[in-house]
């Protein structure tokens, strides 16, 4: 990213800061169909993405396209209801623009969520999976290009991409709420076509438990900027070849709606323990 890009991120961060006030304790990026968490925030302030300079729009069904600041369990929370995806034609730097803004706002803890396809045959549709690690098969990396040291180092370490502390707290929150929480590896692909059964078999051999088209670029950028990251996948459908039925986005949305209460309870419990 060039210095001019840094200036664009800083301009957007100032606008958001002026609208929401205090620096959030935690930010949450909400995936397809998971935006209901934003409506659970107390004392909410809504900032449409369209009113933030340089912020990319998401045109995918299930992504509201707004930033919501409020409170959960006494914590200041900033929820991004919707994200921009590479498959929409956005460059990596554009798809991770919101994450960069969060970093310049001073956010230290980031929870990334997504709707994912289940590769692990022991998973059930509607399961929640805590991301222990990821595999990047998107063909590129959001840090490719000139590095601006104001964002972070040239070669950031990714040994622990997803915080062990946050994973422990998430398991505690799940146990307290009597929610079954799986844990596994998320593999990211570009999309937008769903994967073939042969690809899913290959991903399973590679050690992936769930597949999706987002999250990994944001996790890389967040770690580049020194944020502590957690990832939660909602297994909204079983991946290609696991079941005989074709994959459709409507199924993703329907499953996310069905598990929204568990999803909100898990996020609320995790945030309360930070």
CA distance 147 to 108: 21
Structure confidence by residue, pLDDT tens digits, 232-248: 999 988 766 676 677 67
Could you give the count of Cα atoms lying within 13 Å of 166 in the half-sphere of its Cβ? 23
List the CATH number of the domain containing 79: 3.40.50.1580
Active site residue 161: no
pLDDT band at 231 (very low <50, low <70, confident <90, very high): very high
Mean pLDDT, the chain, as a whole number?
92
In residues, how long is the chain? Answer: 274
Mean pLDDT of the 4-22 span? 93
Residue 66 has pLDDT above 60, yes or no: yes
Cα-to-chain-centroid distance, residue 232: 8
Active site residue 66: no
Active site residue 214: yes
Give the containing element (helix H, strand E) for 131. strand 128-136
User: How confident is the model at residue 240, as a pLDDT?
Assistant: 64
Number of domains in the chain: 1
Specify which of 25-34, 61-70, 112-121 reaches the highest per-range mean pLDDT: 112-121
Catalytic residue among 12, 13, 64, 85: 85
User: How confident is the model at residue 116, as a pLDDT?
Assistant: 94
Active site residue 213: yes
pLDDT band at 207 (very low <50, low <70, confident <90, very high): very high
Distances (CA, A) of 54 to 3, 7, 8, 220: 15, 10, 7, 21
- For the record, the structure tokens of 133 come out as 């690690």
Residue bearing tokens 């990714």: 158
Catalytic residue among 10, 177, 249, 254: 249
Structural domain that includes position 243: 3-272
Catalytic residue among 12, 64, 92, 115: 115
Active site residue 115: yes
Catalytic residue among 58, 81, 233, 237: 237
User: How confident is the model at residue 3, as a pLDDT?
Assistant: 47
Catalytic residue among 6, 36, 88, 202: 88
Structure confidence by residue, pLDDT tens digits, 98-152: 999 999 999 999 999 999 999 999 999 999 999 999 999 999 999 999 999 999 9
Active site residue 237: yes
pTM (2 d.p.): 0.94
User: How confident is the model at residue 1, as a pLDDT?
Assistant: 44
Q: What percent of the chain has pLDDT over 70?
A: 94
Phi-psi bin for 76: left (phi > 0), alpha (psi -120 to 50), beta?
Answer: beta
Active site residue 85: yes
Residue 16 has pLDDT above 70, yes or no: yes
> DSSP secondary structure string, 56-113?
PP--STT---EEEEEEETTEEEEEEE----GGGT--HHHHTHHHHHHHHHT--EEEEE
Catalytic residue among 127, 138, 210, 213: 213
Which residues does 267 contact at the CB level (< 8 Å), separation at least 6? 28, 37, 72, 111, 113, 232
The CA radius of gyration of the chain, in Å to the nearest whole number, is 17
Residue 153 has pLDDT above 80, yes or no: yes
Torsions phi, psi for 42 (to 5 deg): -85, 155
Angle between helix axes 260-272 and 164-176 (nearest 10 degrees) is 120
CA distance 68 to 46: 5
Mean pLDDT of the 170-192 span? 97
């Amino acid at each position: 990213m060039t210095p001019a890009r840094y200036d664009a991120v800083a301009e957007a961060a100032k606008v958001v800061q002026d609208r929401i006030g205090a620096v959030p304790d935690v930010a949450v990026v909400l995936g397809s169909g998971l935006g209901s968490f934003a409506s659970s925030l107390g004392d909410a302030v809504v900032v449409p993405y369209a009113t933030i300079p340089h912020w990319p729009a998401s045109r995918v069904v299930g992504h509201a396209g707004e930033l919501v600041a409020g409170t959960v369990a006494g914590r200041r929370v900033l929820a991004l209801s919707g994200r921009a995806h590479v498959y929409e034609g956005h460059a990596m730097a554009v798809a991770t623009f919101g994450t960069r803004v969060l970093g310049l706002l001073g956010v230290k803890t980031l929870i990334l969520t997504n709707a994912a396809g289940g590769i692990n045959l022991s998973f059930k549709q509607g399961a929640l999976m805590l991301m222990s690690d990821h595999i990047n098969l998107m063909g590129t990396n959001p840090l490719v290009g000139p590095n601006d040291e104001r964002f972070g180092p040239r070669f950031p370490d990714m040994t622990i991409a997803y915080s062990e502390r946050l994973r422990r707290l998430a398991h505690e929150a799940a146990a307290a709420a009597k929610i079954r929480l799986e844990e596994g590896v998320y593999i990211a692909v570009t999309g937008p076509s769903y994967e073939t059964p042969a690809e899913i078999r290959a991903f399973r051999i590679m050690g992936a438990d769930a597949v999706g088209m987002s999250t990994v670029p944001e996790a890389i950028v967040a770690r580049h900027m020194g944020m502590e990251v957690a990832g939660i996948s909602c297994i909204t459908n079983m991946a290609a070849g696991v079941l005989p039925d074709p994959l459709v986005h409507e199924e993703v949305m329907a499953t996310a709606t069905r598990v929204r209460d568990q999803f909100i309870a898990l996020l609320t419990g995790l945030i309360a323990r930070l």
